[in-house]
Amino acid sequence: MNPLKNPFSPGAGSPPPELVGRDPILDQARILLGRVKRKKSEKSMLLTGLRGVGKTVLLNEIERLAKMEGYRTIFIEAHEDKPLGSLIVPYLRTLLYELDRMAGAGDKVKRGLAVLRSFVGALKITVDDVTYGLDIDPEKGTADSGDLEIDLANLFVAIGEAAENRSTALAIFIDEVQYFSEIELAALIMAMHKLQQRQLPVVLLGAGLPILPGLAGDSKSYAERLFSFPDIGALSAQDAAKALQDPANAVGVTFDPAALDEIFRLTKGYPYFVQEWGYQSWNRATSSPITFDLVQTATAGVIPRLDKNFFRVRFERLTPSEKNFLRAMAQLGPDAHRTGDIAGVLGVKVTSLGPVRAKLIKKGMIYSPAHGDMAFTVPLFDEFMIRVMPHFQS
Ligand SMILES: Nc1ncnc2c1ncn2[C@@H]1O[C@H](COP(=O)(O)OP(=O)(O)OP(=O)(O)O)[C@@H](O)[C@H]1O
Ligand SMILES: [Mg+2]
């Protein structure tokens, strides 16, 4: 059928034709935004889930809701090797200049700029263009101690006061939060704690792989009190069917029930895969309805495409020992496994696996759903590992 009319949208962060199955989370977000704007305390949100379940598109949708509610928004994506400070500073600078241009009395916005200037001064790394553009004297003694936990909290409070001063509210969106270091996460959590204590109109909405199990001590207990962690998972069979059927119906095409069942069986309801199967089935079909047989033909094309793109890019970033670790996990099946069992498959001591496991966690390939357990962050990666690596590498 006409590929130009294909409604499906496989791809990182590509908005789906219909965002199904997420109403409870969107409702929760609406309440959160409504309450914070009225300076009532409410837990911030960190959406957690595996790769390709739709965290980024949800975060984008919540940003849209926030703007409709009158929030100023900032949207950043964390990176493996970019520090939190230099990532966020340019956005805060733009925000403060915007607030500065708004009508309103008081000097909180100017103070926000001065505090931002001292924060930048204390950053080990330089944010050249920002320092250059901040033609204001730093506020000495605030946010310049060099201890991120203290400085970020001071900075956020100054920004929160500036927003309050201009009768507006601020929503900070952070995608891929798992890439922050433990120190950065702790600082972020403490900063939110300070904002909440002072009832300033700032809300944090994050998304990423599950981070809670990796946090320790105080930051963990604060995190549990300050944030809710909605689990973004696969779609139910009914929702997956809706995600396929509704957009197709809108352009006069239908799926046979057996075709929908087959796509659900193959994708297990993971949104990225649902879009991919929908997309390929559409392109291969010559007429409506899309049948079971057609889906099977499409599958022959989808698997190599996934192997070449979605899975392969991740596979190529791995060292041989990391590949063997994942291959051993795959051998044990798709669920979470104890490191001891993985060591057993590889025929090595558990202790020897520590470094490779840590690297795989840092690369976002595996995570720990519960103490001592390891699971894949990429759905269906176990099947891919066995396809791509029938044997262990030496
Ligand atoms: N609720 C949904 N219904 C149907 N399709 C969806 C839904 N949510 C996301 N998708 C589709 O799933 C794909 C992946 O979405 P997205 O990039 O937001 O996932 P993610 O969780 O951010 O993944 P990653 O962890 O790799 O960043 C996109 O093609 C998107 O269109
Ligand atoms: Mg994403």
Q: Nearest 5°: phi and psi at 207?
A: -150, 150
Percent of the chain with pLDDT over 70: 96
Confidence check: pLDDT of 125 > 60:
no
Q: CA-CA distance, 83 to 87, in Å (whole number)?
A: 6
User: Is 275 in contact with 302 (CB distance < 8 Å)?
Assistant: no
**Residue 370 in tokens:** 């519960």
DSSP secondary structure, 232-258, as one string: --PPPHHHHHHHHHHHHHTTT--B-HH
Q: What is the DSSP letter of 265?
A: H
Ligand 2 center to residue 361 CA distance, Å?
17
Residue of minimum CA distance from atom 26 in ligand 1: 51
Q: CA-CA distance, 35 to 42, in Å (whole number)?
A: 7
Give the ligand with the smallest distance to the CA of 271.
Answer: 1
Q: What is the DSSP letter of 308?
A: I
Q: 126: pLDDT confidence band, cut at 50, 70 and 90? A: low
Of 47, 50, 57, 179, the one to substitute when testing ligand 1's pocket (max ligand atoms within 8 A of C-beta) is 57
Helix (H, G, I), strand (E, B) or coil at 215: coil
Q: Ligand 1 atom closest to Cα of 15?
A: 31
Length of the chain, in residues: 394
Ligand 2 center to residue 114 CA distance, Å?
34
Q: CA-CA distance, 238 to 182, in Å (whole number)?
A: 39
Q: Ligand 1 atom closest to Cα of 209?
A: 25
pLDDT digits (tens, 9 = 90+) for 256-298: 999 999 999 999 999 999 999 999 999 999 999 999 999 999 9
Helix (H, G, I), strand (E, B) or coil at 341: helix
> What confidence score (pLDDT) does residue 368 get?
87
- Residue of 265, 234, 192, 202 whose CA lies nearest to 35: 202
Q: CA-CA distance, 110 to 80, in Å (whole number)?
A: 33
Q: What is the mean pLDDT of residues 309-316?
A: 90
Ligand 1 center to residue 253 CA distance, Å?
23
User: Is 203 in contact with 44 (CB distance < 8 Å)?
Assistant: yes
Within the chain, where are the H helices?
Answer: 23-37, 55-68, 84-101, 108-122, 128-133, 148-165, 182-197, 217-226, 237-249, 257-267, 271-284, 292-306, 312-315, 320-332, 339-346, 354-362, 381-388
Give the ligand with the smallest distance to the CA of 19.
Answer: 1
pLDDT digits (tens, 9 = 90+) for 210-229: 777 667 777 788 888 999 99
Q: Which residues surround ligand 2, an ion (CB under 5 A)?
A: 56
Distances (CA, A) of 338 to 329, 370, 380: 9, 10, 19
Q: What is the mean pLDDT of residues 177-184?
A: 90
Distances (CA, A) of 8 to 131, 166, 249, 260, 300: 44, 42, 12, 15, 18
For the beta carbon of residue 239, count every other beta carbon within 10 angstroms: 18
The pTM score is: 0.91
Phi-psi region of 158 (alpha: psi -120 to 50; beta: other; left: phi over 0): alpha
Ligand 2 center to residue 330 CA distance, Å?
23
Q: CA-CA distance, 254 to 245, in Å (whole number)?
A: 6
Helix (H, G, I), strand (E, B) or coil at 181: coil
Q: Which residues form ligand 1's pocket by a CB distance below 6 Å? A: 9-16, 19-22, 49, 51-57, 243, 271-272, 274-275
Q: What is the mean pLDDT of residues 141-162?
A: 92
